[in-house]
Every structure is written in structure tokens, then in C-alpha cells.
Structure 1
Amino acid sequence: MRTEEMLAGEFATVSDLIRGHAAERPDKPAMIFEDKSISYAELDALLDRLAAALQREGVGKGDAVAILAASSIEYGASFFAILRAGGVPAPLQPSATPAQLAAMVADSGARILFLDETGIKALGDAQVTAKPVRLEALEDFLAPQGAKPAPVTIGPDDPFNIIYSSGTTGTPKGIVQPQSMRWIHIARAPGGFGSAVTMIATPLYSNTTLVSFIPTIAWGGTAVLLGKFDARTFVVQAAKHRATHAMLVPVQYQRIMALPDFDRFDLSSFQLKTCTSAPFSAVLKADILARWPGLLVEYYGMTEGGGTTVLVCNANPTKLHTVGVPLPGQDLRLIDEDGKEVPRGEMGEVVGRSGAMMTGYHGRADATADATWHDSDGNRYIRHGDVGRFDEDGFLILMDRKKDLIISGGFNIYPSDLEAILITHPQVSDCAVIGVPSEQWGETPVGFFTGPGAPADVLAWFNAQVGKTQRLADIHKLDELPRSAIGKVLKRELRDRIAA
């Protein structure tokens, strides 16, 4: 069956699609990294040898294989080879602690751990039971030339991958995403994705990245992998490769648009730029619309799945403060503290239901139950953990993570409201607000910022702009805010600084 027919059908595996592209367009680049590239024919042959080697090591259907490494062609090939062997990729974030990484490997039950120099440094002295395989010496692990893995029948309900949440304490939870969930990501990719040249500028272990990377390869496009993010490198490489697509997080857009010579780069080949994973300011969206060709689309959703909203910024310039409307087939609702739905226009916790939902947290039935809400008909929804409201046109306005809500003297204070004011100070370039314990008020807001401003001056200015209940108790100047690899401010680290 041709790839065109597979993609138009009800379900296909990524492995079969890669094999089809190798037959139909063997010389087309599948992945590019720095000065190296791999064609679809080369990728398909490598997957066969690598999948056969994994089966030789005892990897069977449903068995996890972990990956702990920086982005590279070998990383991408290993991910897809695990799938071809019938296994389940478990990509791990090198930013986790050695103890967390060892716990994640154990939790997944991985037999094999693919890793590179980055992974070795991250693992440190931690001991794992999985057999280590160095990506830099992958040839030593491969089955012989021409080897083929035993065929494995894969269905929509089988696990596709395990994505570990980026918890900063304890063992992160393993989110089991089924094949059907990834198929929906592939099937809803925009038309013409087969000719896409997609910039992959976030790490391959992140779900944010995989939502863009997997459809690019499934449709037969070209994925341009980047190492550690640098704004200038991004625009240089995007212009060089005539990039058409990119998934970036807000802090990356911010750094790209701040380049003093941004406007001299030819980015006219761009068709679609997407964003997710962190708050995306309306001012930044407007700047991108004005100066960067192509559509700008923001997605809001969870790695766990549930509901997804979409904001096509070009078509909705008056809604840039929102995250858009639910995609077709997505059911998003808002509930109160008692689990009851709130009327339109009122704030509540976001819950969502769709065909793209996690099976559950790996080995964590209790955590799965905590993340689940059921409506009166017994339908299952995923709790997003965010607080928001729908406007009169059905666009979702997000306030904050539920856990970040500050309750001070009985008043609800949303850090995002305070951050939106603080960032307008001319000498503040980045900021965050958290709640800290207070004997008098229960909690009180404290700010952090980067930029040339003096803390005392910024604090006085800010407190003059807001009501009494929203005033900051203190403010701290930092060289930079702690962020995850996909741009989320690590507010727990800020709380730890205060506690220390």
C-alpha cells in the first residue's frame, strides 16, 4: 500500500510509513543534523538493523527501551527503531537528577538504555539495570547488513511511548501514550506536510517536540535537528534550508524576535509556525505576525491528552490574549473545587476529553485517578490543572496553573495577572511571580525579574500600579529565570530559593 493510502486510512504505524517513504522517495532527506543527513532509504535500512539488534537483546512487543541523550540523527533513528522492534520508547530528560533518572529507567522496565556523552554525564554515578548502548558507537550494536527484524503486529490500543513528566521532586510520572493518540497527531497534520522542512529546535525527549517531529517523518518531510537552542543559529539554519514549519516555545520566539538584525533574514519559505507549552504573550504574538511570514498557530493541551485548543493568530488578531477554541472533536469544560461545571464566563479548572488521551500513568493507578474527572454520563476527562474561562465567543482565556494560584487574605491572586503588569516596566526583560508563606496573609506574592532595573525602583513602581491585595511583598533580581528545556519557568526552584 502506498503511503498516500496509508495516511488517508484509519490507522497506520510510523514504521510502515517510513518503509513506504523509503520505497517511494528513497533519496529524500529524512533528518538533517549539522553537516550530516540521512535519506529515507538509509533510515529504513538502519531501522531494520537496529530493530533486529533490539529483538536479539530480548526486546519484544510492549517492552520499554529508554533513551537519554541530546538530539541527533542517531537519537531519532533509535526512537523509530524501538517502534519497529515492537518496543516502546521512553525518552528521558537529561536535566533530571541522577536518582530520578535511575528511578525512571527502573519504572519503565527498560531492557536497553541508549545514551551519549550528555546522558552519561546526566546519569553520573547512578546505577541502572538496563544495558547501556552508546549512540556514538551504534555500529557496534547493529545487526549485520541486510538483517530484518521479526514482524510485529501493532494496533491503535498498543502503547506508543512513555513520556516522563518534568517533576522537580520525587520520581516523575510516566505518561503512557497509545498508538491511537500519536496517529491523531499525524492525521490532523496540515495538508502538504509531506513537503515540510521542519525545524526541530526543542529536545527530542519532549512531547512538545515529538508532536512536530513524528508527523514530519510520518508524512515524508524533512526534520532539521538543532542542538542547544541559539536564536541566531535558528534563523541562519532556517534560511539555509528554506524551512517551512517550526514548533517553538515562547521564550525561543522572544529571543529570535529580539535579534537586532532579524529582519534581514529571508524566512519567506515559512508556511506554519506553532507554539505551545508555556504562556505566550499577546504582544509577542503581534510582533511575530507583523514581521515573520506564514501562519502563526498556538496550541494548548496536555502531554496526557484530553482537550486541545487552537488559536490561528493571523485570523484572530483581537483574540491574541486567548489560547483559542477547542479543536473539532475536543470537549473542554471548566469545573469548580467540588467537581461541578461552572457557567460560561466563570473561572474554573480545565478538563478535557478527546480521542487523543493517555492510557494512564505507568504503574500509577492512584495518580491516574487523581488526573481524571468523569461527567454525569461517566465519560472520562483529563484534568489539565489550569484555571481559565471561556469568553463570549468561546475562546479560552488561561489564568494560571491551579497549583500556582496565590490565596492571600482570602483573595485569589493570579500570578499571570501580576506578571503581565511587571513585564511592561521598561527595565524588566523577563519576570515571574510566586506565592510564599505569610503568617499574616497565609500567602503573599513575591516577584523575580531580569533586566537593568534596580529592585527597589521596580518594586515601588509595580506596587503603585496595582491594588492593595496584589502588591508584591518583595522582588528579586536574577541574571536569568530558571526554565525547563521547553521554556517553562521552574517556579518550584524560585520557591526553593525563598525557602533557603
Structure 2
Amino acid sequence: MSTTTVTDTTPVDSVALRIARTAAQRPQHRALLHNDDVLTYAELDALMDRIAAALQRDGIEPTGRIAICATNSNPYAAVYLGALRAGVAVAPLPPSAAPAALAAMLADSGARHLFVDSGTAASFAELPAGVRRIALDDAAAGAEPLSGWLAPEGAKPAPVQPLAGWPFNVIYSSGTTGTPKGIVQPFGMRAAQLQGGSSTLTAYGPDSVTLLSTPLYSNTTLVSFFSTMGNGGTTVFMGKFDVAQYLALAERHRMTHTMLVPAQYQRLMAYPDFDKFDLSSTQVKQCTSAPFRAELKAEVLRRWPGRLIESYGMTEGGGVCILECDRYPDKLHTVGKPAPKHQILLLDDEGRPARPGEQGEIVGRSGAMMTGYLNLPEKTAEAVWFDEHGNRYIRTGDVGRFDADGFLQLVDRKKDMIISGGFNIYPSDIEAEVRKHPDVADVSVVGVVSERWGETPVAFVVLRDGAACDAATLLGWANERLGKMQRLADVRLIDELPRSAIGKVLKRELRDAYDGQIA
């Protein structure tokens, strides 16, 4: 598919338009904070105008694309938002990915400009022809400084009215080998999420102060970020997650909202001084991206003021389930009920709606759904399911069942994806890399329980006859080649992989047989 194909020409409200309105109404209200860098709404709005005008000057038209690969910062956020003001889609790339994977994502995105910082510039040794490299921090080697690239102070871009079918961003799913899938989220999808952010459930508003410690290339972060900015609130960024720093920032800025993944909640609850911090300003704590243990939810509810809302869904969109943990403490083992205007169905093994009480693959439909996977029409077709009326649903690859009260309980994952620290890791990518070692005959990677990460990858390896490589050597070799978030926690050498009668590796048997302890 091409992201320049507009299927829905309905004009939509966008976060960039909303920021302009807030800047006119509350120009001195704080918009973005990161370390000692503060941008008011008036300053952010003016900077977004200069960014949008510069993109227009460079000939990047609406539905065109830029890419950003950097750590969280105010300039990063401003470039993202400024591009949206010009109707330009953003491909936020993960700095933790291996250079080969980043090169593949950049080429696949079709981005004309790449924005980096001093920590990521070295990951892009060569750029595709015609791609311009710009340094967000003015310090990245081999890149022109953002300050010199910007349109002059006071510059105004030509007004752009986004349409629902235009691409808003392209979020890459994973991968260190080949080209990972680029999930194209349209403006209409983000507009629907923006409306949900101001609902009574999460209640983002002009006095919200949201502390974000997850990266801006993650959809987990972006939903909360856009909800905050689109409703006139303040976003506080932090860099690498640190428990003590997070708690200090929350107390100092009187945090009202936050989005965390389960592994972060686990670390916070385990911190000896947690209860010494004043978190009484907290109104809503959100969680998504990975399995959230019922016991941990209960502890968060007991020790941390404010609501606890768990969301179950996919970056691809479709159906979302919401668990209001504080309202339903007896349902903490579930992921809640379908959100308003969201439809969730379960499919049996024949791809038909399962009968009441039966488990099945979870598919969902709503106003917030991806356009498709960029340049991958076959993968897009595999990701959707149509009902008898032709309505489109997104497949999750998860298996679940509804209880008698309509709450969805996850049973298993149909796909082999590992969720580690809130990030999606695909075993096939790791397996492909390990297989490059000359002593490896076969390999299977599974996720095992980790107190720190929730899950972490472990490789079971069959060596070639006569190979002399040991597990420790292979572990080091593989981790030098894998992306930071994909690194193996352990390697186990075995004589053969357990397989079914039709040759499929029985990964559950490997997980069940693993006797290691992963911190």
C-alpha cells in the first residue's frame, strides 16, 4: 500500500490545530518540560510554525514523510508536532535497534528528512540518496544543526487541513533482520484517540501534568502524549527510566497523569523509599503494552493514590479493552471490557465467531484502526478479518475468553511475540541472527519470566556435529549483533528441539522446561 492514497477525505481536528488554539488562549502555560528546558505554548506554537514552514520550503507536501531517531527531548516533540502541522507523517525510529534495522526502516519509510541527536547519528553511516540529516541538538556529527535548518523566526506555514485518511505516523513493529513492518496510523485514528483522551475515563485537560518515561517512538507513549497536548496540558519528559528520578519528578511537578508499562510498576513498587514520596496529586495512572499481573495491580491500587486504568490493544488499532482497576478490584485478572464504540469478537479455529463461553482469537474494530502496513499489502491482508457485512476488524494474534460479566481474559498468544519491558520482541528476528553463527544447526527463542522486564528472550540452540562453541561464547556473539532490547538473557544448548508431528517447534515445552532464574 502507499500512504499517499487517501481513502477518507473527511476533515479532522488534529493535535497540531489544538495546540494553536491553546497558544492563543493560554500563551504562557507550560507545554513541554525536559530537564531545565521549558517551552510555553506560545513558544511551542511558534517553533512548530517554523518547522512546518521549513518542511514546506523543502518541498515536502502533505502525506510526505520524515523520520526521527533520537531520545526524548523538547526539540524531538516539536519536530514531530510541527511536521503534523504541515500534514507530513512522522516515522519515529527506535534508537535501540541495530544499525542494519534502522537503515531498513529509514529506506522503507520513504522519509526525505532524518532528524537525529548526538547519541544516534552514528547509527546511520550512510543515508539513502536525497535524505537530509538534521541534528535536533545542533551537536550531532555529520548533520546540519536544527537551528540553521529552521525557517526564520516569525515564519508562518501555509495552512493545512488534515484529512482522516492521510498518514499521521508510521510506527515500526520490530526487527533486526530484513524490513520490519511499518504500521501506518491515519489522522482519523489519532483524532479518535484524541477524543477518548478527554473523556471522563482518563480526563486529560488543561491542568493535566503528564510524566512520560517511555520513548516517543512507542505508541504507548504517543497516545498519552497527544492526549495531553491536544487538551492543553503539560508534558514532562524524562530520559532513561530511573525509579528515584521518576518519583522526584512526579512529586516536584505535582504529576496528575502518567503512562507506565508493567515492568516499571514492578520496579516502583519494589523501591524501598516509594512510600516517602508525595504522589497525592496523581489522578490517573495508565498501563498497557504487556501482561500486568493481578497481584501487582492490587499493590499499585493500595499504595498509590488516583485511578489505575489498564488498556489492552495494539499499535495497529482495532478494538481496545479497558479495565478500571479501582472500580473492579475483583476483575484484576482480566483486561476489562471493550471501550465505548469498540467491538471485540473471538474467532474459532475456522475463522468464524466463537460461540458464547468459548475462547478464540481476539479481533477488534473501532474508529481507531491502521490504514495498513507500509509497502506490504500481503501482510496487511493477513492482519484483517471481515465479518459477513464487510466490516473490517484487526487481528490481534491473542487468544482470550469473555467471562459471564463481559470481561475479557487473555488465555495465550497465538503469535510468538515476546513483550519485554513494554516493547515487542519477535523471536524470529533473534533466531535469524543466531543462525548466522557457523556452529548453530537450529535455534528457537522463547520468552521466560523476568522480574525486571516481565519477559525476556532465551535461546535454545542445537549445535552442528563437531562444534566446539559453548553457551557463554554464543551468548556474547549474539548479543553483540542484536538490538539493545532484543539481547538474550540466556542460551541453553540442547540435543534437539521438541517438535510436533508436523514439524512445528513446541515452544511451550521449552518455556516449561526452562529452570533458570532471570532477574
TM-score range, shorter chain: 0.7 to 0.9
CA separation of 1:303 and 1:439: change in aligned 2, threshold 3 A:
closer
Q: Does the aligned pair in 2 maintain the 1:404–1:435 contact within 8 Å?
A: no
- Correspondences of 1:362-401 after superposition (within 5 Å): 362-401=374-413
1: CA distance, partners of 2:321 / 2:226? 20
Look up the match of 2:127: 127
**CA distances 1:447-490 after superposition (whole Å, capped 9, x unpaired):** 78xxxxxxxxxxxxxxxxxxxxxxx3342344x5xxxxxxxxxx
2: CA distance, partners of 1:256 / 1:447? 31
Cα deviation, residue 168, structure 1:
4.5
Cα deviation, residue 444, structure 1:
5.5
2: CA distance, partners of 1:122 / 1:249? 27
1:195 matched to 2:195? The reply is: no
Mark the runs of 5 or more structure 2 residues left unpaired by the alignment: 1-9, 139-145, 418-445, 461-496
Look up the match of 1:491: none
Which has the higher relative contact order, 1 or 2, with Cα contacts under 8 A spaced 6 or more apart?
2
Deviates more, 1:68-77 or 1:154-163: 154-163
1:65 matched to 2:77? The reply is: no
Q: Does the aligned pair in 1 maintain the 2:52–2:85 contact within 8 Å?
A: yes
CA separation of 1:88 and 1:439: change in aligned 2, threshold 3 A:
closer
SS where residue 357 of structure 1 aligns? coil
Look up the match of 2:414: 402
Look up the match of 2:84: 83
Q: Does the aligned pair in 2 maintain the 1:55–1:149 contact within 8 Å?
A: yes
Q: Does the aligned pair in 1 maintain the 2:114–2:132 contact within 8 Å?
A: yes
What is the identity, as a one-letter code, of the residue corresponding to 1:386?
Answer: D
CA separation of 1:196 and 1:281: change in aligned 2, threshold 3 A:
same
CA separation of 1:168 and 1:240: change in aligned 2, threshold 3 A:
same
1:101 matched to 2:102? The reply is: yes
Look up the match of 2:44: 43
1: CA distance, partners of 2:507 / 2:156? 62
Q: Does the aligned pair in 1 maintain the 2:346–2:401 contact within 8 Å?
A: yes
Look up the match of 1:443: 506
1: CA distance, partners of 2:514 / 2:275? 39
Cα deviation, residue 393, structure 1:
0.8
- Correspondences of 1:311-460 after superposition (within 5 Å): 311-404=323-416, 437-438=497-498, 443=506, 445=508
Look up the match of 1:164: 172
1: CA distance, partners of 2:290 / 2:165? 30
SS where residue 71 of structure 1 aligns? coil
1: CA distance, partners of 2:453 / 2:80? 38
Q: Does the aligned pair in 2 maintain the 1:435–1:443 contact within 8 Å?
A: no
When the two chains are superposed, the root-mean-square deviation of aligned CA atoms in Å is 2.4
Q: Does the aligned pair in 1 maintain the 2:263–2:454 contact within 8 Å?
A: no
**CA distances 1:95-148 after superposition (whole Å, capped 9, x unpaired):** 22212211211111111001102221333x343331100001221111111111
Percent identical pairs in the alignment equals 51
Look up the match of 2:13: 12
1: CA distance, partners of 2:133 / 2:300? 43
2: CA distance, partners of 1:265 / 1:106? 46
2: CA distance, partners of 1:52 / 1:398? 47
Given the two structures, how large is their TM-score scaled by the length of structure 1?
A: 0.82
1: CA distance, partners of 2:381 / 2:215? 29
2: CA distance, partners of 1:88 / 1:128? 18
Mark the runs of 5 or more structure 1 residues left unpaired by the alignment: 1-8, 406-414, 449-471, 481-500
Given the two structures, how large is their TM-score scaled by the length of structure 2?
A: 0.79
Cα deviation, residue 431, structure 1:
5.8
Look up the match of 1:468: none
| Paired residues, number | 432
**CA distances 1:220-255 after superposition (whole Å, capped 9, x unpaired):** 100000101111111110000000000100000100
Q: Does the aligned pair in 2 maintain the 1:372–1:382 contact within 8 Å?
A: yes
Deviates more, 1:240-249 or 1:110-119: 110-119
